[in-house]
Structure 1
Amino acid sequence: MTPTPEHRNGEIHRRTLGRRTALKLPALLTASAAASRLPRASAETGRWSAERAHTWYRSQGWLVGANYITSNAVNQLEMFQAATFDRRRIDSELLLARRIGLNTVRVFLHDQLWAQDRNGFARRLAQFVAIAARHGIRPLFVLFDSCWDPFPKLGRQQPPRPGVHNSRWVQSPGAEYIADPRYRHVMRDYVTGVLKQFRNDERVLGWDLWNEPDNPANQYRAVERKDKFDRVAELLPQVFRWAREVAPVQPLTSGVWDGDWDPARRNTIVRIQLDNSDVVTFHNYGDADEFDARIDELQPLGRPIMCTEYLARGFGSTIEGVLPVARRRNVGAYTWGLMSGKTQTHLPWDSWEKPYTAPPDVWFHDLLRLDGQPYRDGEIRAIRWLTGRGGPA
Structure 2
Amino acid sequence: MASLTGVRGAIYFPTRAHNHYQTWAGYDSARAASDLDYANRLNLDAVRVILSYHRWRENRRAFADAFDDFLLHAENRGIRVLPVLFESIGRQPTKARRRATGDAPALKSPAGATVRQPWKWDGPRNFTRWVMNRCTDPDVVLALEIMNEPGEWGPRLSFVREMLRVANEAAPSVPLTVGCKDIRYNKQFSDPEPDVYQFHMNLPPTEKQARREIRDAVTFARAHGKPVWLTEWQRLRRSPRSPLRPNYASLAPIIRQSALDGDFFWQLMLKPAYMRKQRERGRINGLFHDDGAVFSAADATALAQRPEAESRGETEGQSVEWVERQKPPSGFGAGGGN
Determine if contact 1:283/1:308 at 8 Å carries over to the other structure: yes
Partner amino acid, structure 1, of 2:82: L
Residue in 2 aligned with 1:253? Answer: 177
1:392 to 309, 317, 320: 320
Partner amino acid, structure 1, of 2:278: S
Which structure has more RCO (C-alpha within 8 Å, separation ≥ 6)? 1
Cα distance between partner residues in 1 of 2:238 and 2:180: 19
Residue in 2 aligned with 1:38? Answer: none
SS in 2 for 1:299: helix
Residue in 2 aligned with 1:140? Answer: 82
Determine if contact 1:253/1:273 at 8 Å carries over to the other structure: no
* 1:327, distance to aligned residue in structure 2 (A): 4.5
2:123 pairs with 1:186: yes
Residue in 1 aligned with 2:148? Answer: 211
Residue in 2 aligned with 1:297? Answer: 220
- More displaced stretch, 366-375 vs 168-177: 366-375
Residue in 2 aligned with 1:101? Answer: 43
Residue in 2 aligned with 1:271? Answer: 188
What is the RMSD computed on CA atoms of the aligned residues?
2.7
- More displaced stretch, 85-94 vs 313-322: 313-322
* 1:299, distance to aligned residue in structure 2 (A): 2.7
* 1:247, distance to aligned residue in structure 2 (A): 2.2
Matches within 5 A, 1:331-346: 331-341=261-271, 344-345=272-273
1:71 to 15, 18, 26: 15
Partner amino acid, structure 2, of 1:373: A
Identity of aligned residues (%): 24
2:134 pairs with 1:197: yes
Matches within 5 A, 1:1-393: 56-57=2-3, 62-81=6-25, 84-153=26-95, 156-160=99-103, 168-200=105-137, 202-214=139-151, 229-258=153-182, 261=184, 270-272=187-189, 276-285=193-202, 286=204, 287=207, 288-289=210-211, 290-314=213-237, 318-341=248-271, 344-345=272-273, 351=278, 355-356=280-281, 365-386=285-306, 388=309, 389-390=316-317, 391-392=319-320
Cα distance between partner residues in 1 of 2:35 and 2:299: 17
Cα distance between partner residues in 2 of 1:315 and 1:143: 33
- Give the unaligned 5+ runs of structure 2: 240-246, 310-315, 322-338
Partner amino acid, structure 2, of 1:255: G
The count of corresponding residues between Structure 1 and Structure 2 is 299
Cα distance between partner residues in 2 of 1:323 and 1:67: 19
Partner amino acid, structure 1, of 2:320: P
* 1:238, distance to aligned residue in structure 2 (A): 0.6
1:179-221 Cα shifts (integer Å, max 9, x gaps): 3444311111000111112223521111011110027xxxxxx
Q: Cα–Cα, structure 1 residues 377 and 213, in superposed 2: closer, same or farther, change >3 Å?
A: same
Cα distance between partner residues in 2 of 1:248 and 1:373: 41
Q: Cα–Cα, structure 1 residues 110 and 140, in superposed 2: closer, same or farther, change >3 Å?
A: same
Cα distance between partner residues in 1 of 2:22 and 2:100: 7
Partner amino acid, structure 2, of 1:159: G
* 1:275, distance to aligned residue in structure 2 (A): 6.9
* 1:328, distance to aligned residue in structure 2 (A): 3.6
- More displaced stretch, 167-176 vs 284-293: 284-293
- More displaced stretch, 320-329 vs 91-100: 320-329
Q: Cα–Cα, structure 1 residues 349 and 310, in superposed 2: closer, same or farther, change >3 Å?
A: farther
SS in 1 for 2:39: helix
Partner amino acid, structure 2, of 1:280: Y
Determine if contact 1:323/1:333 at 8 Å carries over to the other structure: no
Q: Cα–Cα, structure 1 residues 107 and 66, in superposed 2: closer, same or farther, change >3 Å?
A: same
Determine if contact 2:10/2:47 at 8 Å carries over to the other structure: yes
Q: Cα–Cα, structure 1 residues 91 and 200, in superposed 2: closer, same or farther, change >3 Å?
A: closer
* 1:250, distance to aligned residue in structure 2 (A): 2.8
SS in 1 for 2:81: strand
Cα distance between partner residues in 2 of 1:104 and 1:315: 28
* 1:175, distance to aligned residue in structure 2 (A): 1.7
Q: Cα–Cα, structure 1 residues 213 and 327, in superposed 2: closer, same or farther, change >3 Å?
A: same
